[in-house]
Amino acid sequence: MKPARFVYHAPTTLEATVQLLAELNVEAKLLAGGQSLIPMLNMRLVRPGHLIDLQHVSELAGIHERDGGIAIGAMTRQRQVERSPLVAERIPLLAEAVRHVGHLPIRTRGTIGGSIAHADPAAELPGVLLALDGTVHLVSVKGERTVAARDFFVDILTTAAEPDELVREVWFPRLPERSGSAWLEVARRHGDYALVGIGAVVTLADDGQAVAEARLCFISVAARPVRATQVEAALRGAPVTPATWRQAGALVQEELDPPADLHASAHYRRYVAGVLAERALELAARRAQEGAGR
Amino acid sequence: MSTNGVERKRIRLTVNGAPVEREVEARLLLSDFLRHELGLTGTHVGCEHGVCGACTVLVDGEPARSCLMFAIQADGHIVETVEGLAASDDALHPLQRAFWEKHGLQCGYCTPGMLMVLKAFLAENPNPTEGEVREAISGNLCRCTGYQNIVEAALEAARLLRQHS
Ligand SMILES: Cc1cc2nc3c(=O)[nH]c(=O)nc-3n(C[C@H](O)[C@H](O)[C@H](O)COP(=O)(O)OP(=O)(O)OC[C@H]3O[C@@H](n4cnc5c(N)ncnc54)[C@H](O)[C@@H]3O)c2cc1C
Ligand code: FES
Ligand code: FES
């Protein structure tokens, strides 16, 4: 199990990186944390002629405030996201979810950009980005463009990014006032890919007694992360009561159509999705009331 | 640089406190570099796709899979392996002593990875709960012990390390 030969490039600027990517195009693969790519290279599932290592492109790392939200550079390690006080305060859903990405020694290398670009349907970070209506910022020699999360994730391991485009950063908007969020998932073992995972956001009405807006985003139930839009619509204006969350959980089981695979049957996934939805909504609403989950 | 048409690059890094300089092929994994080029066979290789944790080393103090890094990526960095834990042959590191005393190993295949991940974990969390220890080693597979004694050894090591400091 050794990778086939490749030519290694280690550019130090973003400009040089996109130039290389334009020249080599489909011949090249970008190497971020390597936590998904190197296993595939070792097993020779992919055999690119060139690897472009992003680790020296310092412009791609870092967490900062931008346009009222938080922007995170593609090469920011998942472990840095996990430790960031800014993320904990401003994007608690991300802080809660990132701890479920693999294990400690995976997150020290794995990056946020690599996880978003890889687009594994069981991956947490794409689910968080979609739950929060975030955006992906792409760059190529032709220029920059911004793609909304709902348009970015297309299919299993497939995104809207072209072969000559690089994920530069991801951006998470600020949640409205009176919002709370919660990430829950079921996996065989902490750190394993989720059998089902959910990111929920609840925004309360002015009086705190009704739901102004609810968002439910699931991972591992389809070829890409998905929002339960029908359930979200049904929750608008609903009272903040245990019965509301229970009904939402039942509706989730109707709306989702998860696949069966080696790890879980479709029936099991659907059932777990309903249970997790009920719990996540309740937790998110409680955090919204406590003003702790923003 | 090229030998038989194969591109090789010169890398300089620190391994267990000593400077190392070698010419490597780009596709050489850090795990194979440590084992085959440097003879540091304490770093074990189980799966070569990041799942078993046997190859875990510290890179700049942080635990990482050496099978999911190319040696060339470690250029300019500080790598620590299990060989660097004990100060001398007869002075085991507190982690090693705890594994010895609590029977935290049987065949020993998983042990180097366990020790290295726990070294970084205990440096950050010197007084962990049992649950936190279990989460910290969740990425390291052991086919022998059932983990019970590994967790006990980790908690014992935490006690020993707290006494030391
Ligand atoms: C044992 C194990 C368990 C894991 N468990 C989980 C889990 O539970 N949940 C989870 O979400 N992930 C899990 N992962 C995967 C891990 O999160 C990876 O870090 C992540 O999927 C990819 O990030 P990376 O930085 O390592 O990217 P890489 O592996 O370097 O790259 C992945 C892909 O993205 C492309 N790419 C990388 N960066 C960019 C960029 N900036 N622009 C465009 N394309 C880019 C690469 O070319 C490649 O095709 C696990 C991995 C292992 C080994
Ligand atoms: S050999 Fe590296 S994780 Fe198994
Ligand atoms: S002691 Fe044998 S694998 Fe852990």
Q: What CATH number is attached to the domain comprising B18?
A: 3.10.20.30
> Which tens digits make up the pLDDT trace of B81-136?
999 999 888 899 999 999 999 999 999 999 999 999 999 999 999 999 999 999 99
Whether B45 lines ligand 2, by a CB cut-off of 6 Å, is yes
Whether B48 lines ligand 2, by a CB cut-off of 6 Å, is yes
Rounded to a whole number, what is the distance in Å from the CA of B97 to chain A's nearest CA? 23
By Cβ distance, the residue of A7, A41, A105 closest to B65 is A105
Q: Rounded CA gap, A64 and B32, in Å?
A: 38
Q: Say yes or no for a CB contact (<8 Å) between A43 and B49.
A: yes
At A6 the pLDDT is: 96
B65 within a domain of the structure (yes/no): yes
A147 and A224 within one domain: no
- 3-class secondary structure, A167: strand
Interface of A with B (CB under 8 A): 1-8, 10, 34-35, 38-39, 41-43, 51, 53, 55, 79, 102-106, 108-109, 189-191
- State what percent of residues in chain B have pLDDT above 70: 97
Q: What CATH number is attached to the domain comprising A216?
A: 3.30.390.50
A68 and A45 within one domain: no
Cβ atoms within 10 Å of A31's Cβ, excluding its own:
23
Q: Which residues form the domain of A169?
A: 62-173
Q: Rounded CA gap, B106 and B77, in Å?
A: 33
B42 within a domain of the structure (yes/no): yes
* A75 close to A111: Cβ distance less than 8 angstroms: yes
Rounded to a whole number, what is the distance in Å from the CA of B107 to chain A's nearest CA? 23
| ipTM value | 0.94
H or E, element range at A199: strand A196-204
H or E, element range at A42: helix A37-42
Q: Is the pLDDT of residue A292 over 80?
A: no
At A247 the pLDDT is: 98
B72 and B6 within one domain: yes
| C-alpha dihedral, A95 to A59 to A161 to B69, nearest 10° | -70
B89 within a domain of the structure (yes/no): no
Q: What is the 3-state secondary structure (H, E, C) of A202-250?
A: EEECCCCCEEEEEEEEEECCCCCCEECHHHHHHHCCCECCHHHHHHHHH
Q: Is the pLDDT of residue B73 over 60?
A: yes
Higher-confidence residue of A292 and A111: namely: A111
Q: Which residues form the domain of B130?
A: 94-164
Q: Identify the bridge partners of residue A214 per DSSP, sorted by sequence position.
A: A202
When pLDDT is averaged across residues A138-144 and rounded to a whole number, the result is 97
Q: Rounded CA gap, A197 and A220, in Å?
A: 7
A223 within a domain of the structure (yes/no): yes
- Cβ contacts (< 8 Å) between B67 and chain A: which residues? 38, 42
Pocket probe mutation, ligand 3, options B111, B116, B137, B140, max atoms within 8 Å of Cβ:
B111
> Which tens digits make up the pLDDT trace of A103-119?
999 999 999 999 999 99
Q: Which of B40, B57, B84 represents a domain boundary (last residue)?
A: B84
- State what percent of residues in chain B have pLDDT above 90: 92
pTM: predicted TM-score of the whole model, two decimal places:
0.96
Probe site for chain B from A79, A108, A190 (most B CB atoms < 10 A)? A108
- 3-class secondary structure, B153: helix
B53 within a domain of the structure (yes/no): yes
At A5 the pLDDT is: 96
Q: What CATH number is attached to the domain comprising B115?
A: 1.10.150.120
- 3-class secondary structure, B109: coil
- Give A188's pLDDT tier (boundaries 50, 70, 90): confident
Nearest to B141, CA basis, from B111, B116, B121, B97: B111
Distance, CA of A70 to chain centre: 14
At A244 the pLDDT is: 98
At B38, give phi and psi (nearest 5°).
-105, -10
Could you give the number of structural domains in chain B? Answer: 2
A67 and A168 within one domain: yes
Q: Is the pLDDT of residue B1 over 60?
A: no
B107 and B80 within one domain: no
- Give B5's pLDDT tier (boundaries 50, 70, 90): low
Q: Rounded CA gap, A163 and A147, in Å?
A: 15
- Looking at every residue in chain B, the average pLDDT score rounds to 95
A95 within a domain of the structure (yes/no): yes
**Helix-then-strand count for chain A, H and E:** 12, 14
A14 and A106 within one domain: no
B80 and B6 within one domain: yes
B38 and B69 within one domain: yes
A2 within a domain of the structure (yes/no): no
* B6 close to B25: Cβ distance less than 8 angstroms: yes
Q: Rounded CA gap, A107 and A93, in Å?
A: 17
B98 and B76 within one domain: no
Nearest to B61, CA basis, from B40, B78, B37: B78
Q: Which distant-in-sequence residues (6+ apart) come within 8 Å of A71 by Cβ?
A: A63, A64, A65, A137, A169, A170, A171, A172
